[in-house]
Amino acid sequence: MYVTPSESHEMIFKVILVGEPNVGKTSFMMRYCKDEYSTIYKSTIGALTLEKRIRWRDDLIVTLRIWDLAGQERLGDQVGFYFRDADAAICVCDVLDPSSRHA
């Protein structure tokens, strides 16, 4: 059965990126969401959010709202807001730096 675009459904998921500072969370998000990459490093302050829309099937669009948490996950309750209602988490580490795997 063919489904017209007006009959499409959308699912929205909140995805958080977690990991130590300087492991590439922002680079990962920018590459995935915008297909951009920069060799210039700027530390994220607070949180950065981007969306990636994916046509999963003819009748379903999946939107990922991706939150980059600036490597501050260890601060406890102060970042609880960012974790609240998250549907998924992606743990990012630097494979060349074993200490970055402890987030």
In the chain, what are the domains?
A: 5-102 (3.40.50.300)
Task: Look at residue 92 in the predicted model and tell me its pLDDT.
Answer: 87
Task: Look at residue 61 in the predicted model and tell me its pLDDT.
Answer: 92
Given a contact cutoff of 8 angstroms between Cβ atoms, the answer to whether 91 and 69 are in contact is no
Length in residues, the chain? 103
Task: Look at residue 70 in the predicted model and tell me its pLDDT.
Answer: 66
> Amino acid letter at 92?
V
Task: Look at residue 80 in the predicted model and tell me its pLDDT.
Answer: 75
The C-alpha atoms of residue 19 and residue 85 are separated, in whole angstroms, by 18
Mean pLDDT of 6-11: 77
pLDDT tens for residues 21-76?
888 888 889 899 998 887 776 666 667 889 999 998 888 999 999 998 765 555 55
4 or 34: which leads in pLDDT: 34
